[in-house]
Amino acid sequence: MLSQRPFVLVLSFLCIVTSARKNLIVDTDLFSDCDDAGALLLAATAPEVNLLGVNINSQSSHSVLAASAILNHYGHSEVPIGARRPLNNIPFFDSWTKLLGEFASKVATHWPKSMSDADEAWDPVKLYRKLLAEAEDDSVTIASIGFLHNLSALLNSTADSYSKLTGPELVATKVKELVVMGGDYPSGYEHNFWYDNPYETAHVIHSWKSPIIYVGFDLGSSIRSGGPLMADGPKTDPVRAAYILYTYYQPRWSFDPVAMLYAIKGLDKYFKYGNEYGYNTIKLEGEAGCNGCNKWDFDENVTNQHWLNTTISHEEIENALDELFLRGARSSPRSSDPL
């Protein structure tokens, strides 16, 4: 009789590898900037990530279907997608500079998807509650790279068939860390915090109980990426197409890819905290004359919120992102280019 020991050892190894992967939920608008697509590429192709789900915080059906196309391209057609309602079919238009293109509807149209209609997507709060309830305690990282509507709604949720815990209780029990691309530090006025609903931003930032790491405007805007992906990436890659359609072959600032790099790898060799203590606050209309501004309160009693700075040069982080973009794009089973 053949020994079962090799099989048991292999199975044990696979279990260890699986358990060591980071549980990640991505909350993205995937609409008004192609850097969301770059961040989703990183999340979908990082070997150290167990991608639990993707929630869309814009109301565009194009964003939902583009997410489905990107996940499908990288071999994650099984990953559930949630969609903020009500949905619309309005594409992005750069009414300010007239320099930027639109990518979400094109990616949604020209790449195969796991869903044919955006209405097939989950309700984002139900998806959050299901995924968090099924996860081990203190095991989930959430990367918020857009508006905070879905997270605010999660905090407003009550017990249901997925969990007897309220939204805040579920967050405190299951979420290890929330990574937020938004604001500027130690103070500023940034699009993700003020544009959609600053009151929902304040609700999340002021009520969230698990640790929060912030990536601010100055950091993301000083790091450019995507050039090598556009020049040398697989011609079949949807994120390459997103960057070309949006930037016309110009490297793009890296707000969301930087946030995702931290969400995946932690501080690693790239980052350090910009503060030792304190917490973020959101100013609303009537408070200091700014609706959606953020300001850091340096309270020595609070040590679970930080903003990111870098330990290596911005050029080195640009190179790291570009290398990960190319490696991830080429790893797709649908890629025409070898690793």
Neighbours of 250 (CB within 10 A): 14
Do the domain assignments include residue 101?
A: yes
DSSP labels for 228-254? HHHHHS-TT-HHHHHHHHHHSS--EE-
DSSP labels for 9-36? HHHHHHHHHHHHSEEEEEEE--SS-THH
How many domains does the chain divide into? 1
Copy the structure tokens of residue 192. Answer: 């993700």
pLDDT, residue 292, reads: 96
Burial of 220 (0-12, 13-18, 19+ CB in 10 A): buried
Do the domain assignments include residue 11?
A: no
What's the CA gap between 228 and 27, in Å, rounded?
Answer: 26
pLDDT tens-digit map of 75-121? 999 999 999 999 999 999 999 999 999 999 999 999 999 999 999 99
What's the CA gap between 160 and 126, in Å, rounded?
Answer: 9
> Is residue 264 within 8 Å of 142, Cβ to Cβ?
no
What is the 8-class DSSP label of residue 112? -
Domain that includes residue 288, residue range? 22-331
Copy the structure tokens of residue 201. Answer: 């931003």
pLDDT tens-digit map of 48-80? 999 999 999 999 999 999 999 999 999 999 999
Q: What is the CATH number of the domain that holds 188?
A: 3.90.245.10
pLDDT, residue 285, reads: 82
> Is residue 121 within 8 Å of 115, Cβ to Cβ?
yes
What's the CA gap between 191 and 86, in Å, rounded?
Answer: 21
pLDDT, residue 339, reads: 54
Do the domain assignments include residue 170?
A: yes
Indicate the pairing of strand 140-145 with strand 81-83: unpaired
CA torsion 121-126-128-134 (nearest 10°) is -110
pLDDT, residue 335, reads: 87
Torsion over CA: 184, 281, 214, 198 (sign)? negative
pLDDT < 70 positions in the chain = 1-19, 286-289, 337-339
User: How many residues are there in the chain?
Assistant: 339
Burial of 77 (0-12, 13-18, 19+ CB in 10 A): middle
DSSP labels for 188-232? E--HHHHSS-HHHHHHHHHH--S-EEEE-HHHHHT-EE-HHHHHH
What's the CA gap between 139 and 85, in Å, rounded?
Answer: 28
Do the domain assignments include residue 12?
A: no
Closest Cα to residue 62, out of 115, 98, 24, 99? 115
What's the CA gap between 275 and 285, in Å, rounded?
Answer: 27
What's the CA gap between 50 and 127, in Å, rounded?
Answer: 16
What is the 8-class DSSP label of residue 90? P
What's the CA gap between 181 and 260, in Å, rounded?
Answer: 9
pLDDT, residue 289, reads: 66
pLDDT, residue 14, reads: 44
> Is residue 25 within 8 Å of 128, Cβ to Cβ?
yes
The strand ranges marked E within the chain are 22-28, 49-56, 81-83, 140-145, 175-181, 187-188, 212-215, 224-225, 252-253, 271-273, 279-283, 293-297, 305-310
Copy the structure tokens of residue 170. Answer: 């579920």
